[in-house]
């Protein structure tokens, strides 16, 4: 096998939750470009059909599972095995927030915190369990976390807290599932997606956030997909239990601007 072949995924089967739009769609298309057939999941069928068309245009096959993934990861795993015969890669990407209003952590209703926990962390926990039961040796699980989970995150506290939990869970799973299965996380910084545009909208807001990034520009779903493909490939065979922050060099810097934007969004 040549050097560049180590980055290929020919004959592999991937599952990507939350793959109807944005980062999830970019990851699904990136994995298909690298050689994977892909099982897709999101709540909206029309979004999934568009993602599936992109996979088929890349010469690969897609499975569509249109459903809220909460409590249904094992069903998705079974359907993937039924169609493709195996699961090699599982990407826990579903997440975000159904609640768009921002507030301080102590002012957050219990039901909102529980919802964030279920949508972002419990789904990843369930997905990892379902994947581990189906994967053979050499499989990998990738959790899509967030830079918010690596620092204090005023006014987005529930989301940040559960993403921090995801990072800890990633390390624990990596130890427990080694050496058969590798487990890593990817933490995106500010990435332009449909949801991002709905929240911020104005070009001047995007420019202001870009100014907080050392490399000077916002990310795209492809930037996250490239990292996921690498972590899924033989090229990363000696990497497990790690989190890769893909954020143009931004760490804690710039969050104060983001906080001000969020305070004035949807209030």
Q: What's this model's pTM, rounded to 2 decimal places?
A: 0.91
CB contact set of 42 (below 8 Å; sequence gap of 6+): 17, 18, 19, 20, 21, 24, 48, 51, 66, 94
Report the mean per-residue pLDDT for the chain. Answer: 91
pLDDT of residue 263: 39
Q: Is the distance from CB of 228 to CB of 188 less than 8 angstroms?
A: no
Name the helix (H) or strand (E) containing 150: none
pLDDT of residue 262: 42
Residue 55 has pLDDT above 70, yes or no: yes
pLDDT of residue 192: 87
pLDDT tens digit sequence for 212-263? 899 999 999 999 999 999 999 999 999 999 999 999 998 754 444 444 444 3
What number of other Cβ atoms are within 10 A of residue 202's Cβ?
A: 10
Stretch 155-164: mean pLDDT: 94
Rounded to whole angstroms, how far apart are CA atoms 203 and 103?
24
Cα 224 to the center of its chain, rounded Å: 8
Name the helix (H) or strand (E) containing 174: helix 157-177
Rg (CA), the chain: 18
Least confident among 3-12, 92-101, 169-178, 218-227: 92-101
Backbone angles phi, psi at 156, to 5 degrees: -135, 40
pLDDT of residue 264: 37
Tokens of 226: 């490239």
Residue 196 has pLDDT above 70, yes or no: no
What is the band of 15 on the pLDDT scale with cuts at 50, 70, 90? very high
Rounded to whole angstroms, how far apart are CA atoms 144 and 244?
10
Q: Determine whether 255 is an active site residue.
A: no
Catalytic residue selected from 159, 196, 230, 255: 159
Residue 232: strand, helix, or coil: helix
Task: Return the closest-CA partner of residue 209 out of 175, 164, 240, 255.
Answer: 255
Residue 180 has pLDDT above 70, yes or no: yes
Return the CATH fold of 4-263.
Rossmann fold (3.40.50)
């Amino acid at each position: 096998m040549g050097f560049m072949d180590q980055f290929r995924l020919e004959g592999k089967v991937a599952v990507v939750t939350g793959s109807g739009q944005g980062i999830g769609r970019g990851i699904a298309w990136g994995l298909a470009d690298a050689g994977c057939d892909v099982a897709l999941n999101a709540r909206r069928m029309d979004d999934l059909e568009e993602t599936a068309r992109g996979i088929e245009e890349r010469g690969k096959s897609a499975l569509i599972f249109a459903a809220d993934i909460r409590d249904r990861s094992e069903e998705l795993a079974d359907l993937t095995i039924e169609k493709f015969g195996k699961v090699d890669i599982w990407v826990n990407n579903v997440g975000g927030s159904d609640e768009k209003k921002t507030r301080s952590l102590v002012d957050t209703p219990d039901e909102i915190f529980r919802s964030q926990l279920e949508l972002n962390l419990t789904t990843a926990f369930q997905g990892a369990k379902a994947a581990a039961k189906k994967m053979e040796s050499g499989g990998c699980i990738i959790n899509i976390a967030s830079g918010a989970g690596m620092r204090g995150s005023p006014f987005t506290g529930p989301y940040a807290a559960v993403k921090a939990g995801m990072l800890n869970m990633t390390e624990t799973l990596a130890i427990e599932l080694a050496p058969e299965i590798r487990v890593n996380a990817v933490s995106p910084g500010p990435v332009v997606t449909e949801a991002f545009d709905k929240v911020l909208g104005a070009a001047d807001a995007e420019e202001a956030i870009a100014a907080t990034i050392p490399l000077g520009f916002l990310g795209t779903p492809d930037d996250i997909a490239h990292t996921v493909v690498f972590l899924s490939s033989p090229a990363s065979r000696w990497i497990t239990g790690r989190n890769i922050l893909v954020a143009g060099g931004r760490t804690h810097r710039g969050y104060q601007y983001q906080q001000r934007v969020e305070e004035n969004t949807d209030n």
